[in-house]
């Protein structure tokens, strides 16, 4: 197949290139069209992504981001020129990696050139575009048109599929039939460097923490780790509240938070706490040591498309705490690799950390074992079926539904 990706942040996320490489290994041709505003900075850490497989174009002005129709019009016009200049006429399927920021462009290409398209639904679609006051009704009308004409819809989690389909009663049946759930894969580095020698016995004294009514201190320290940009959405402050609750029960807890600073006020606030270390974003070769020195990974984001850091943590045999109703939720039955929590409840987060400690060895082993499902080479097989089904729908041929990747895992 000849596949064209439409992206707006290919230049700062490796997930697109990872999926492209996996598909190319299976004999497909994949080109990425990356549409950005004029003057966009290209960071050196992603320089290796910018080769002849990507058409990187500064299509619009920075302030055009606030005028949705104008921005999408400029992206479409730029893509149309590249479609001819780069001889993309053999494109068989277009994949817009967001529903609204690119999906309308894919829709216009379909209407003008009869190229079938598929869309992915992400956090910004559900929690920004489709919920912004007043304009949400406009965006819902636009997304309805995009979804209705898309030949397939990809979700990274069941939670997001359920939420989006719930917005469109009249399209629900069609959307459910032509959608599937395929999570993001992991960089090869993490799967090649799994941590198989975690000493789970170290925390065995905490197995009875739920039965402890006094404040007699434990001997061993529980090391919590959070990896994510320091900002309101990532909700790191609540982790420290949960740690305090457990500390009041006698637990010894230290927390490490690693990520780029987006909100300087939150960064200052985190640094005021005791028993916490806040570190800047670092290369994976350094980050892996922090995963290995931690005991539990905690990231109760307010919103999250998928959260690949959860799966990175799993490769290092770390149990994970994630958010109810967001990206990672629904990947596994509760208690398999960790637990989902209400992100605003410090008490619930503390309770779920206790649940992990009670069954620490088993959950740690499961986390490591289950991380292998996020191998892009395996996910590419499902993606291939997903695209082929979309093309068959376009050609009005019979299609066999693709089971969710989660269904295969649970069976």
Tokens representing 333 are: 């039955």
Residue 302: give the domain boundaries.
188-373
Q: Count structural domains, the chain.
A: 2
Same domain, 198 and 169: no
In the predicted model, is pLDDT for residue 398 greater than 70? Answer: yes
Same domain, 218 and 365: yes
Same domain, 337 and 363: yes
Using one digit for the tens of pLDDT, what is the confidence trace for 128-154?
899 888 898 999 999 999 999 999 999
Angle at 343 (CA atoms; ends 339, 347), nearest 5 degrees: 75
- Start-end of H helices in 89-232: 103-113, 123-124, 136-149, 158-165, 172-178, 188-192
Using one digit for the tens of pLDDT, what is the confidence trace for 313-352?
999 999 999 999 887 888 889 999 999 999 999 999 999 9
Output the pTM of the full model: 0.87
Q: What is the mean pLDDT of residues 355-363?
A: 96
CATH number at residue 123: 3.40.50.2000
Strand order through the sheet with 117-121: 54-60, 29-37, 2-7, 93-96, 117-121, 152-155, 179-181
Same domain, 303 and 388: no
Same domain, 389 and 303: no
Using one digit for the tens of pLDDT, what is the confidence trace for 5-58?
999 999 998 999 999 999 999 999 999 999 999 999 998 888 999 999 999 999
Same domain, 161 and 259: no
Q: What is the mean pLDDT of residues 190-209?
A: 91
Same domain, 29 and 175: yes
Same domain, 351 and 403: no
Higher pLDDT, 83 or 314: 314
In the predicted model, is pLDDT for residue 405 greater than 70? Answer: no
Same domain, 239 and 161: no
Q: What is the mean pLDDT of the chain?
A: 92
The contacts of residue 330 (CB under 8 Å, 6+ apart) are 157, 158, 159, 406
Using one digit for the tens of pLDDT, what is the confidence trace for 238-252?
999 999 999 998 999
- CA pair distance 352, 257, nearest whole angstrom: 19
Same domain, 175 and 215: no
In the predicted model, is pLDDT for residue 215 greater than 70? Answer: no
């Amino acid at each position: 197949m000849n596949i064209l990706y439409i992206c707006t942040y290919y230049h700062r996320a490796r997930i697109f290139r990872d999926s492209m490489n996996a598909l190319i290994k299976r004999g497909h041709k994949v080109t990425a069209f990356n549409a950005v505003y004029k003057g966009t900075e290209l960071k050196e850490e992603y320089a290796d992504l910018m080769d002849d497989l990507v058409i990187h174009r500064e299509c619009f002005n920075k302030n055009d981001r606030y005028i949705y129709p104008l921005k999408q019009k400029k992206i479409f016009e730029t893509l149309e020129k590249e479609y001819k200049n780069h001889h993309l006429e053999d494109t068989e399927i277009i994949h817009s990696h967001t529903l609204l920021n690119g999906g309308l462009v894919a829709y216009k290409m379909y209407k003008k050139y009869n190229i079938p398209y598929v869309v992915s639904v992400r956090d910004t679609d559900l929690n920004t575009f489709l919920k912004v006051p007043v304009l949400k009704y406009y965006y819902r009308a636009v997304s309805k048109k995009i979804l209705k004409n898309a030949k397939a819809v990809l979700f990274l989690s069941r939670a997001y599929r359920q939420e989006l389909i719930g917005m469109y009663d009249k399209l629900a049946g069609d959307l459910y039939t032509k959608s599937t759930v395929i999570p993001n894969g992991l960089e090869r580095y993490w799967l090649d460097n799994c941590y198989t020698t975690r000493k789970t016995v170290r925390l065995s004294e905490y197995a009875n923490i739920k039965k402890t009514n006094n404040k007699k201190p434990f001997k061993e320290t529980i090391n919590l780790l959070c990896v994510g940009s320091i900002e309101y959405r990532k909700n790191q402050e609540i982790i420290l509240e949960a740690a305090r609750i457990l500390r009041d029960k006698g637990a010894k807890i230290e927390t490490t938070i690693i990520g780029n600073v987006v909100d300087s006020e939150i960064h200052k606030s985190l640094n005021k706490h005791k028993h916490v270390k806040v570190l800047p974003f670092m290369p994976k070769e350094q980050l892996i040591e922090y995963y290995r020195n931690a005991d539990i990974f905690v990231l109760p984001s307010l919103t999250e498309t998928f959260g690949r850091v959860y799966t990175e943590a799993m490769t290092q045999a770390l149990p994970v705490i994630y958010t109810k109703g967001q990206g990672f939720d629904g990947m596994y039955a509760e208690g398999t690799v960790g637990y989902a929590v209400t992100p605003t409840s410090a008490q619930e987060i503390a309770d779920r950390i206790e649940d992990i400690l009670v069954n620490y060895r088993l959950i740690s082993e499961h986390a490591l074992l289950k991380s292998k499902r996020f191998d892009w080479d395996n996910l590419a097989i499902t993606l291939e079926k997903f695209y082929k089904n979309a093309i068959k729908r376009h050609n009005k041929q019979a299609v066999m539904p693709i089971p969710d990747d989660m269904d295969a895992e649970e069976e």
